[in-house]
Amino acid sequence: MVVGKQPYIFLCLLIEITIILYLCIQNITITHMDRMMKKLCAVALLWLGITTCAMAQQAGIVRTLERPGKPSVGVEGVTINVLEYPNAIVSKKGGKFSFTINGKRQGDSYTISRVQKKGYTLVDKQLKGRRYAYSSTVPVEIVMVADDQLEKDKKRIEDRAYNRAKKNYDEKVATLEKQLSEKTISEREYRAKYEELNANYNNYIQLIDEMAERYATTDHKGLSDINRQILECIENADLERADSLINTKGDFGQREREIANKQELYQKAQNLTQQLEDDLLAELKDLIQDYYNKYTINVGAYRNDSAAYYLERIVRLYPNNVGMISKTADFIDNYLADYQRALGYYQQGLNLAREQFGENDHWTGYFCERIGLLLDKLGDEDQALEWQHKALSIYEQEAEPDSASISMSYTLIGRAYISKQEYDKALQYTLKGLELRERAAEPDSASLAQSYNNLGVIYTALGNVEKALEYHAKALNLREEYYGKDDAETAFSCMNICSVYAKTNDIDKAMEYNQRALDIYQKVLGPDHPYTISLHNTAAELYFKQGSYEMALERFQQALEGSKHYYGEESYETIKMLAKIAITHRLMGHDDQVKQFIQKIDDIMGRHNGDDSEQAAEICYATGKIFKNDKSYNEALHFFEYAQRIFQATGIENGTTAAAYSHPGHIFYEQGLFDKALKCYQQALDIEKRVLGEQHPFTAICHHYVANAYCQLGDNRLALQHDQQALDILEQMPDKTGYEGSIAEIKESIKKLKP
């Protein structure tokens, strides 16, 4: 084909601009220009030629992983299916294959839908479903590994890792014991260092399986000597040496900036600078591998923030990998409890899965499931249910429905109903999920544990302590077996068992499981994680019940410090801890301390006024309830009245507004101040009528409160009138579930009031 002069001149100009940009970015000297010009011209002319004709054939090769001492070889007899190609393709000798799709041109996309050979595993799990650019010059490379070789490599890596870890552990223990015997460290320092050593050792052991899988499937083809050394160091558990080698490559920021510069050049000169593209991809792959190695090193040392940082760097550099996005979101969700941040990644993954694989793909269902789970944690149960049902619908419509995913959907729907306190529905869905799991040929221990855990929570809420403990014990045993005794999942079961014993006032048992869970969470998640904070609070309340106020105060203080870091200095969780500390000081007779902590809460509330005044009123009301429940009536009235003032100033009326008046009414009633109680009840009743209407059951309950106050003041006529109104409202309700006790109480009151 003859090429006209105008396109050729334009091409030459574009080549010159590309070279100038490249020289500016890379500071390449003039002596390199001839070589650069020849290379770029060759690439450009090749590009010009192939874009003028239709594609003839797409070639490819299937090969094995290259491992130390084992070069890569072609794999014959691999079946490959391409979505746009009607027939199955089988690789020939040397692993080569090719196919032609009629009508495809340079750059048109096609999708590999299946790669299979008995006894072999596909290394790149994301290859199936990925879109490729149809090209007669760029072959497709598919990497597989023989199953027996994979198992040998994994075992070798695991054995070396275990042996090296045990040797390092023994040496460090011996060093500590020597330091203790020589009195160069104290007994306390020895215990602290010994516990830290055990934590790091146990954590590394937990990582070995994942690490072995990761590095046994790492392709060494084309790697530099230093990269081979790094991988071999990590496979041999020599993390310090690996870290040192990575650092010799230079500053990460500088390396990333260099990549960014090349990316910009690539965008301006794509299709003309194939060599530059190759450099970019190689350096990008190199940096991503180093970031992942850094992640592995940091997670092994429980440096969760740093580990998450390196995962996020990978996602930033490799934003189209749904697997890495999922891993990053899961880590941030589980280890940092930064739910909004994790939600952003799950949404990013969902959008990508829809774009790459479609609305009904398994990945799309998975991200819907995870978004639903996070919304449940964030307290939006209705939205959580909607997303979980979306996930279930996708899983059920798959060509080959995965029973494990479907059963997990049922379990997570059950969890959302637990959060909504709709325990009949929660039980229904959880049992559906459990039935599917138990029918499986090889039930998944982790999934079974999740079902058992949900059942334990449900039966706890229903008051069936025996069944609750039975299912929580089953979940704990499975999690210990599957995850290990020092894993966060195991701690979660311990925390749930603690809550059951706490409800039954078996303080010793509750404290035992509380401490076990706390020991794990302190090491794995850190002191500022919500679970750690919750366990400190639970321990404090258990000590409080025992009258051990000094111990309770210490634990409330630890919960307070964690709450400040995680929830914020002015959050309701922090205010709640301040209130509990004030109550504890009151019982200890520390009046000055009580005043000090009440003043701290007042100061926070004062800063909440203004645009957030409604939120301030809600927090004041909730704080008042804490003090009321502890019969600290003066403090409770202080915060209820504070809430009332804010509601009055803003003109806001809702259910909380009414409750901010009815609760002080209860306090005055209990104190025998019936005039004041009546005034509060009447104000609450007026608000309920305006907000909920004359016929709402809450309005009826307020009528009954007013009746009780009139009765105590000797006005039986008005008392009878209000009780009769209350009864009329409740008896006209189509569904009286939950109000049977109130109806009986009001009827008894009317019976006594009638002459």
- Give the residue-averaged pLDDT of 45-53: 34
Q: Which of the 8 DSSP states describes residue 53?
A: S
The reply to whether 666 and 753 lie within a common domain is: yes
Residue 32, in any domain of the structure: no
Contact 388, 409 (CB under 8 A): yes
The reply to whether 415 and 362 lie within a common domain is: yes
Predicted confidence band at 94 (pLDDT cuts at 50, 70, 90)?
very high
The reply to whether 415 and 462 lie within a common domain is: no
Residue 64, in any domain of the structure: no
Give the span between the Cα atoms of 17 and 373, in whole angstroms: 51
Tens digits of per-residue pLDDT, 715-751?
A: 999 999 999 999 999 999 988 877 889 999 999 999 9
The reply to whether 678 and 753 lie within a common domain is: yes
Contact 560, 574 (CB under 8 A): yes
Q: Over 266-311, what HEC string results?
A: HHHHCCCCHHHHHHHHHHHHHHHHHHHHHHHHHHHCCCHHHHHHHH
CA 224 from chain center: how many Å? 36
**Residue 31 pLDDT more than 60?**
no
Residue 597, in any domain of the structure: no
What domain count does the chain have? 3
What is the DSSP code string of 534-600?
HHHHHHHHHHHHHT-HHHHHHHHHHHHHHHHHHT-TTSHHHHHHHHHHHHHHHHTT-HHHHHHHHHH
The reply to whether 667 and 689 lie within a common domain is: yes
143 Cβ neighbours under 8 A, 6+ residues apart: 62, 63, 64, 65, 72, 122, 123, 124, 219
Tens digits of per-residue pLDDT, 293-349?
A: 999 998 888 888 999 999 999 999 888 899 999 999 999 998 898 999 999 999 999
- Give the residue-averaged pLDDT of 10-30: 38
The reply to whether 364 and 424 lie within a common domain is: yes
**Residue 278 pLDDT more than 90?**
no
Least Cα distance to 723 among 754, 684, 750 occurs for 750
Residue that the structure tokens 């499931």 belong to: 369
Joined together, the tokens standing for residue 569 give: 């200095």
- What is the pLDDT, as a whole number, of residue 442? 67
Contact 421, 407 (CB under 8 A): no
Least Cα distance to 58 among 112, 135, 142, 111 occurs for 135
Tens digits of per-residue pLDDT, 230-260?
A: 888 877 767 788 899 999 999 999 999 998 9
Residue 227, in any domain of the structure: no
Residue 395, in any domain of the structure: yes
Which of the two residues, 265 and 41, has the higher pLDDT score?
265
Predicted confidence band at 623 (pLDDT cuts at 50, 70, 90)?
confident
Residue 725, in any domain of the structure: yes
The reply to whether 371 and 430 lie within a common domain is: yes
Residue that the structure tokens 């609070």 belong to: 537
Looking at 485, 519, 553, the residue that finishes a domain is 519
**Residue 50 pLDDT more than 70?**
no
The reply to whether 417 and 479 lie within a common domain is: no
Residue 428, in any domain of the structure: yes
The reply to whether 430 and 362 lie within a common domain is: yes
Residue 548, in any domain of the structure: no
The reply to whether 448 and 433 lie within a common domain is: no
Looking at 486, 519, 552, the residue that finishes a domain is 519
In 67-203, the DSSP E strands lie at 79-82, 89-90, 96-99, 109-116, 120-122, 131-133, 140-146
Tens digits of per-residue pLDDT, 216-226?
A: 888 888 888 89
Looking at 502, 519, 536, the residue that finishes a domain is 519
The reply to whether 414 and 451 lie within a common domain is: no
**Residue 427 pLDDT more than 90?**
yes
Q: Residue 454 sits in a domain of what CATH number?
A: 1.25.40.10
The residue segments making up the domain with residue 360 are 337-439
The reply to whether 389 and 458 lie within a common domain is: no
What is the pTM (predicted TM-score) of this model? 0.55
The CA-atom distances, in angstroms, between 5 and each of 8, 12, 278 are 5, 11, 30
